């Protein structure tokens, strides 16, 4: 059983937590996420033009890059994380340029060597899968695809073709951390996606509070939270880990208990 399958096989929804690599004390913050109950970790690869991200994650990218964070540093962080946490799924999330500039085969091999389970590349659509998809799949690394409110029935099969790990539903037609979609639209979208795939469906973008997360967790297999963690790291810098862990606990409790409450 893969780490993703184990994480989503638990009898409750999963908390998927995102932070930007190289922003703050990344190793301590990753450990705090695990200690707080996160089921899956997304590690952002800093990039100069993160087009899908709102102000909080944009600023985190710039803080990380200002410290000189490189792709090699991200793989070192990932490898060290895997050594400390052998069971927790780890996803690299980012943009095409750092992932493909040395070739998809190189990137996929480095992911496998570092113990990375999956990759989300925001700006390589399903139609451009040959850029990265075949190399990742050959290396045993899941390519996690994004579905959005504008992914219609005609395009959804293309999105799902070659996808692995879980399906990430971007709940708003906008950027991270700004607004949350109406719950009714999330309910409808998750039902539609789950009818089309056996992959777990995780919902993200705009989820900031335990209350929001719990509502989504009543219907989804997982809930993705990112900007709320980034805000803590922005405020507390290298001392953020205890606060990250405490906030993770509140989110995990809300998400893990959501379906029991709904029942």
By annotation, the residues acting in catalysis are 42, 53
Is it the case that residue 84 has pLDDT exceeding 90? Answer: yes
pLDDT tens-place string over residues 102-132: 999 999 999 999 999 999 999 999 999 999 9
What is the H or E stretch that residue 15 is in?
A: strand 14-20
Q: What is the mean pLDDT of the chain?
A: 94
pLDDT tens-place string over residues 166-208: 999 998 766 665 567 788 899 999 999 999 999 999 999 888 8
> Do residues 221 and 10 touch, judged by C-beta distance below 8 A?
no
> Do residues 223 and 207 touch, judged by C-beta distance below 8 A?
yes
Q: Where are the alpha helices (DSSP H) in 128-172?
A: 133-138, 156-160
Q: Which residues contact 168 (CB under 8 A, 6 or more apart)?
A: 120, 144, 145, 146, 147, 202, 204, 224
Q: Please indicate, yes or no, whether the overall pTM of this predicted structure exceeds 0.85.
A: yes
Question: Across the strands, what pairs with 230?
Answer: none
C-alpha span between 142 and 103 (Å, rounded): 17
Token pair belonging to 132? 């990265």
Token pair belonging to 182? 């109406």
> Do residues 59 and 44 touch, judged by C-beta distance below 8 A?
no
> Do residues 121 and 88 touch, judged by C-beta distance below 8 A?
no
């Amino acid at each position: 059983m893969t780490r993703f399958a184990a994480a989503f096989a638990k009898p409750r929804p999963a908390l998927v937590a995102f932070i930007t690599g190289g922003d703050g004390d990344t190793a301590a913050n990753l450990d705090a996420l695990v200690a707080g109950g996160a089921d899956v970790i997304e590690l952002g690869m800093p990039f100069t033009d993160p087009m899908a991200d709102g102000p909080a994650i944009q600023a985190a990218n710039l803080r990380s890059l200002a410290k000189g964070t490189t792709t090699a540093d991200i793989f070192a962080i990932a490898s060290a994380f895997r050594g400390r946490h052998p069971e927790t799924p780890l996803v690299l999330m980012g943009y095409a340029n750092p992932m493909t500039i040395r070739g998809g085969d190189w990137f996929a091999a480095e992911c496998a060597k570092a113990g990375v389970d999956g990759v989300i590349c925001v700006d390589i659509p399903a139609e451009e899968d040959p850029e990265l998809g075949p190399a990742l799949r050959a290396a045993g690394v899941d390519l996690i695809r994004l579905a959005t409110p504008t992914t219609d029935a005609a395009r959804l099969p293309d999105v799902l073709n070659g996808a692995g790990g879980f399906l990430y539903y971007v709940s708003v037609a906008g950027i991270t951390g700004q607004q949350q979609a109406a719950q009714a639209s999330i309910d409808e979208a998750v039902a539609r996606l789950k009818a089309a795939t056996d992959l777990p469906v995780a919902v993200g973008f705009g989820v900031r509070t335990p209350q929001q997360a719990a509502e989504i967790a009543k219907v989804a297999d997982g809930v993705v939270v990112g900007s709320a963690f980034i805000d803590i790291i922005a405020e507390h810098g290298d001392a953020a880990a205890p606060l990250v862990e405490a906030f993770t606990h509140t989110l995990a409790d809300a998400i893990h208990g959501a379906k029991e409450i709904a029942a």
